[in-house]
Amino acid sequence: EPPDTPKDFSCQTQDMKRVTCTWTEGETYLYGQNLPRYTLSNTSSPKMALCEASCSKQCSCSWDIGHQRIWNVTVTVENPLGKKTATDVFDVKHRIYPTAPLQIWEDSTDTEITLHWNYEKNGIELFWQTQVLQPDGEVELHNSSDVDSRHKRVTVRGLQPYTEYTARVRCGAAKHFWRWSEWSQPLTIRTKEGTPSGKLDIWREITPVLGGRNVTLFWKETPSFQANGKIISYEVTWEKLEDGSKPESISFSSVYNSTRIFIDNHSCRISVTAKNNVNFSLPSVLIISGAPDNSRTIFSTEELKEGQVNGTDDGILISWEPRSIYDSYIIDWCNFPRLQPCDLQWKRSGPNTSSAVISSAAFVPGVRYKFRVYGSVANKAFLLEKKIGYLRELPPRFDPIVRKVDLTYNSVTLSWDSYLTNESEPGFVRGFHIYVSPIQGNCNLKGSKKHIISADSELCKYTIENPEEKSYTVEHLMPNTQYKIAVKAFTGGGEKTPIDGFRYIDTPYNSNMLYFVFLLVIVPTLVAAICHWKMKWVKECCCPVIPSPNKSKVLSFKEYKLDSEKVLKINDCIPDMLATDSNAEPQKL
């Protein structure tokens, strides 16, 4: 193919003595003696080549400019198939591309860095740009003007003490800016140490002992605390507030973050400071009230009932009732509550807060954590509330042991021991589930819910939502039937699976039904048998052929008796018919 017009053709100078032109060549797919040839010429002398071009990734050509300042340069490219040209007209003073600064060094204080470098003065007025890379990755640019000296410098202020920065410098023409120079080699600088800023966050745990109290102090750096150097030690100072006694103090290496001191029952002021190679930080202060005044927070914490709290996706949510008298709140807890002594942790919240989410990488499901909420005012802390909770509850490890089973023909009463809910439990016991099923067939007891175990197995389920309950009666059972029954405790994490530990029971016959059958069948049958056996006596007694006058209600008159026989007064009854007996006896009578 014929050559393309040279692309990106431009010319520039670094020292006002020599000009370099550059461009990008196109692809012609010709090789050897047919490669494109480049020629640079001045318009005023087109037949005189200014320089010989060389091409690799980019083509370039350089020549001495002498005293000429305005140039009209043409680059010509040709091969056997054609020729193309490109032109650049420029003033050398408008095409200055300075060299990069060399030999950079620095000096610093705790908040400033001064960069120094040498630069050969060549009559070009320059201005400088300094790039400072912050520790967080943010880049700051600082511009400065040229000074009439071979020795250059720039000062960057407002830096953090004992912090590492990376700086580099470049320059450009102050008049008729064309391009920035390349950056200098980066220089890594650490500012000097300064006085620590801010205060440590301190907390305490108080243990009453004979004659006073043991106070375990803890401290840590807050986000607002700046060490501004390397912390070499911590200093703890304490003094009584009442009698103005001489303060006591002790110093610890920077590897420690806690200590224990003994104080008596008087009020005490405790302060902790951090020290680097320059100075101490401002003191962080705690005031421990005297034992009689602080009895609520030291000796009577058991009076506060422990409230239950729940875990969330972000941690354990702690809430409390805010009080306007406190300027902050502190929540403390142990990351590993089963270890003694525990590693006490704490978190502070502002005065207008009533809740906080406590999160820790040490929190694991199934472990009960204890939290205490304190209100703080004038450096004094008062216990307000106590909480217990889990990051996530797990099912109970054990189920209640059924101690007693009382059976009737249609019910069973189960009794079990009180369920121990100690700190080792993996969740709060919320109640119990009672599972019942006949050995043969499925369960459909009234008042229960179905619990499907598999496609061909189901149980009747009763729920008790009172963890203090110790007995339950299952009703509507069938007499003379075998059942299996189990009691399971459940927490917020469910219940222990699988459902096992069944007890097998046999309901007795229905005694009321037997009594009814006895009355309805057996007694009449017995009476009929007796009557059949004594038929003649029964017939004579109940239905005689000749009724006995003595058994007649008509013959019930006491005044008419003859030899203890009842006598019928003839006028007391109206006969249907009258007949006369011819026998001598009635005639005689």
Output the six-digit token pair for 122: 């060549």
Mean pLDDT of the 379-408 span: 92
Higher pLDDT, 229 or 444: 229
pLDDT at 546 over 70: no
- Report residue 365 CA to chain centroid gap: 10
Higher pLDDT, 472 or 418: 472
- Cα 233 to Cα 274: distance, rounded to the nearest angstrom: 6
What confidence tens digit (pLDDT) does each residue in 60-98 have?
999 998 888 899 999 888 888 888 889 999 999 999 999
What confidence tens digit (pLDDT) does each residue in 506-538 have?
988 876 665 666 667 777 788 788 777 767 666
- Report residue 181 CA to chain centroid gap: 53
pLDDT at 556 over 60: no
pLDDT at 293 over 60: no
Beta bridge partners of 82: 79
pLDDT at 300 over 70: no
Confidence of residue 287 (pLDDT cuts 50, 70, 90): very high
DSSP string, 428-473: -EEEEEEEEEESSS----TT-EEEEEETTEEEEEEEE--TT--EEE
Output the six-digit token pair for 11: 């010319």
Contact 428, 392 (CB under 8 A): no
pLDDT at 305 over 60: yes
The CA–CA distances, whole Å, from 131 to 144, 168, 175, 323 equal 12, 5, 21, 51
- Cα 78 to Cα 550: distance, rounded to the nearest angstrom: 167
State the burial class of residue 139 (Cβ atoms within 10 Å of its Cβ: 0-12, 13-18, 19+). exposed
Contact 180, 96 (CB under 8 A): no
- Report residue 428 CA to chain centroid gap: 18
Mean pLDDT of the chain: 85
What's the pLDDT at 544? 66
| Percent of the residues in the chain that have a pLDDT greater than 90, as a whole number | 50
> Among 431, 433, 414, 442, which Cα is nearest to 503's?
414
- Report residue 293 CA to chain centroid gap: 37
Give residue 129's region: left, alpha or beta (phi > 0; psi -120 to 50).
Answer: beta
- Report residue 315 CA to chain centroid gap: 2
Task: Kindly list the structural domains of the chain, giving each domain's residue range(s) and its CATH number in brackets, ordered by start.
Answer: 7-94 (2.60.40.10), 104-190 (2.60.40.10), 200-288 (2.60.40.10), 312-375+383-390 (2.60.40.10), 402-507 (2.60.40.10)
- Cα 133 to Cα 88: distance, rounded to the nearest angstrom: 38
What's the pLDDT at 298? 38
Give residue 130's region: left, alpha or beta (phi > 0; psi -120 to 50).
Answer: beta
* Rg of the chain, C-alpha, whole Å: 55
- Residues 6 or more apart whose CB falls under 8 angstroms from that of 273 comprise 200, 234, 235, 237, 280, 281, 282, 283, 284
pLDDT at 587 over 80: no
pLDDT at 239 over 90: yes
pLDDT at 277 over 90: yes
What's the pLDDT at 299? 38
Question: pTM of this prediction?
Answer: 0.68
What confidence tens digit (pLDDT) does each residue in 476-513 have?
888 889 999 999 999 999 998 888 888 999 988 876 66
- Cα 309 to Cα 316: distance, rounded to the nearest angstrom: 7
pLDDT at 350 over 80: yes
Q: What angle do CA 471, 472, 476 make, to 5 degrees?
A: 155
State the burial class of residue 115 (Cβ atoms within 10 Å of its Cβ: 0-12, 13-18, 19+). buried
- Cα 88 to Cα 73: distance, rounded to the nearest angstrom: 5
What's the pLDDT at 295? 41
Determine the 3-state secondary structure of 1 from DSSP: coil
What's the pLDDT at 226? 93
Output the six-digit token pair for 182: 């390349």
Contact 431, 394 (CB under 8 A): no
Residue length, the chain? Answer: 589
What's the pLDDT at 396? 92
Mean pLDDT of the 403-407 span: 91
Mean pLDDT of the 566-577 span: 66
pLDDT at 378 over 50: yes
What confidence tens digit (pLDDT) does each residue in 408-444 have?
888 999 999 888 778 888 999 999 999 999 988 778 8
What confidence tens digit (pLDDT) does each residue in 438-461 have?
988 778 888 888 888 877 788 999
What's the pLDDT at 421? 76
pLDDT at 26 over 90: no
Q: Could you tell me the maximum CA-CA distance found in the chain, to the nearest angstrom?
A: 200
Higher pLDDT, 562 or 4: 4
What's the pLDDT at 57? 78
Mean pLDDT of the 94-109 span: 90
What confidence tens digit (pLDDT) does each residue in 320-333 have?
999 999 999 999 99
Determine the 3-state secondary structure of 425 from DSSP: coil
State the burial class of residue 66 (Cβ atoms within 10 Å of its Cβ: 0-12, 13-18, 19+). exposed
Output the six-digit token pair for 534: 């004594």
What's the pLDDT at 548? 62
What's the pLDDT at 545? 62
Query: Quick count: other Cβ atoms within 10 Å of Cβ 196?
Result: 25
Q: Sign of dihedral through CA atoms 199, 200, 204, 210?
A: negative
pLDDT at 374 over 80: yes
> Among 315, 314, 311, 348, which Cα is nearest to 491's?
311
- Cα 26 to Cα 77: distance, rounded to the nearest angstrom: 10
